[in-house]
């Protein structure tokens, strides 16, 4: 898959960062003021928007952002020159020593096998520390089902033979609870559905061009790519009707959990 586009991703930065703020608000860590002595990892840090929240909350902590995208890491380093950023794959993440907080905002959905992934990440948290994650739970939303439906249309189907999004349905809240509670002193798990007012159907397309649509359009030659995006915008126009102010509400369910290691 082609590298990620930080500029396109950051167009909706406030909306994308809001769940990270909500997740961080539920993270309670003991220690010195400013987080002195704490080790924090931001898994799938992207352009550094979530890392910046961590830095603002824990300015004296040792904070490292990890991402597979060099373009995202370059942007994050410019944004937060005092933090460390390293290339790393969440699915193969192995800490040299435990972290006090492993923070994953909208990144775990790109890794398959959560039944093994989540306990493996939790094992890399220090006693009393936290694993905190926010996971988009939108695969059944019209914005996502439309991608798969368009890919199956005769005009595009040949390009997607053998294609996989490399995503799986998010497990239930009680399932994540069960995976974590065996090694946790407490687990907080919840779901929020955000309703994002979007200026147009084209804005919905732009939102997902840097995330959910990316695996699809990366498979297409440029001409077909533009046709695919055009079809997708047509579907967004049909599926997300205008509200009273002329905008369209994009529903976005997200699952959250915060677990404290014994």
For residue 63, give the 3-state DSSP assignment: strand
Q: Is there a contact between 134 and 254 (Cβ–Cβ < 8 Å)? A: yes
Summarize pLDDT for 149-162 with one digit per residue, the tens: 999 999 999 999 99
Indicate the Cα dihedral angle 16, 22, 27, 33, nearest 10°.
Answer: 90
Decide if 181 is inside a domain: yes
Q: Which domain holds residue 58?
A: 6-261
CATH number at residue 193: 3.40.50.150
75 contacts: CB under 8 Å, gap ≥ 6: 6, 10, 47, 48
Decide if 230 is inside a domain: yes
pLDDT at 31: 80
Decide if 182 is inside a domain: yes
The model's pTM is 0.93
* Averaged pLDDT for residues 139-158: 97
Decide if 85 is inside a domain: yes
Q: Is there a contact between 83 and 65 (Cβ–Cβ < 8 Å)? A: yes
What mean pLDDT is reported for the chain?
Answer: 94
Per-residue pLDDT at 7 exceeds 90: no
Decide if 137 is inside a domain: yes
Per-residue pLDDT at 2 exceeds 70: no
Cα(244)–Cα(228) distance, integer angstroms: 29
* Averaged pLDDT for residues 87-108: 97
Summarize pLDDT for 213-262 with one digit per residue, the tens: 999 999 999 999 999 999 999 999 999 999 999 999 999 999 999 999 99
Pairing of strands 62-67, 99-105: unpaired
First to last CA, the chain: 39
pLDDT at 56: 97
Q: Report in angstroms the alpha-carbon separations of 2 from 11, 63, 104, 206, 214.
A: 19, 27, 22, 17, 9
Q: Is there a contact between 93 and 81 (Cβ–Cβ < 8 Å)? A: no
pLDDT at 1: 54
pLDDT at 99: 98
pLDDT at 164: 87
Decide if 1 is inside a domain: no
Give me the number of domains the chain comprises: 1
Decide if 16 is inside a domain: yes
């Amino acid at each position: 898959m082609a590298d990620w586009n930080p500029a396109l991703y950051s167009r909706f930065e406030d909306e994308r960062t809001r769940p990270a703020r909500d997740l961080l608000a539920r993270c309670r860590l003991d220690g010195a003021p400013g987080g002195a002595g704490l080790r924090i990892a931001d898994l799938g840090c992207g352009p550094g928007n979530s890392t910046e929240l961590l830095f603002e909350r824990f300015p004296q902590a040792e904070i490292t952002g990890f991402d597979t995208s060099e373009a995202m890491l370059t942007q994050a380093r410019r944004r937060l020159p005092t933090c460390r950023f390293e290339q790393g794959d969440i699915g193969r993440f192995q800490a040299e020593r435990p972290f006090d907080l492993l923070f994953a905002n909208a990144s775990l959905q790109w890794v398959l096998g959560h039944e093994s992934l989540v306990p493996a990440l939790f094992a890399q948290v220090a006693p009393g520390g936290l694993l905190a994650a926010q996971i988009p739970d939108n695969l059944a939303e019209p914005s996502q089902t439309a991608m798969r439906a368009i890919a199956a249309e005769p005009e595009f189907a040949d390009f997607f033979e053998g294609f996989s999004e490399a995503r799986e349905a998010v497990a239930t809240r009680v399932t994540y609870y069960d995976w974590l509670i065996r090694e946790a002193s407490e687990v907080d798990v919840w779901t929020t559905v955000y309703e994002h007012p979007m200026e147009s159907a084209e804005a919905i397309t732009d939102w997902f061009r840097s995330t959910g649509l990316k695996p699809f359009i990366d498979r297409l030659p440029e001409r077909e790519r533009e046709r695919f995006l055009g079809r997708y915008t047509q579907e967004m126009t049909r599926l997300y009707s205008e509200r009273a102010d002329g905008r369209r509400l994009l529903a976005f369910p997200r699952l959250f959990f915060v677990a404290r290691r014994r």
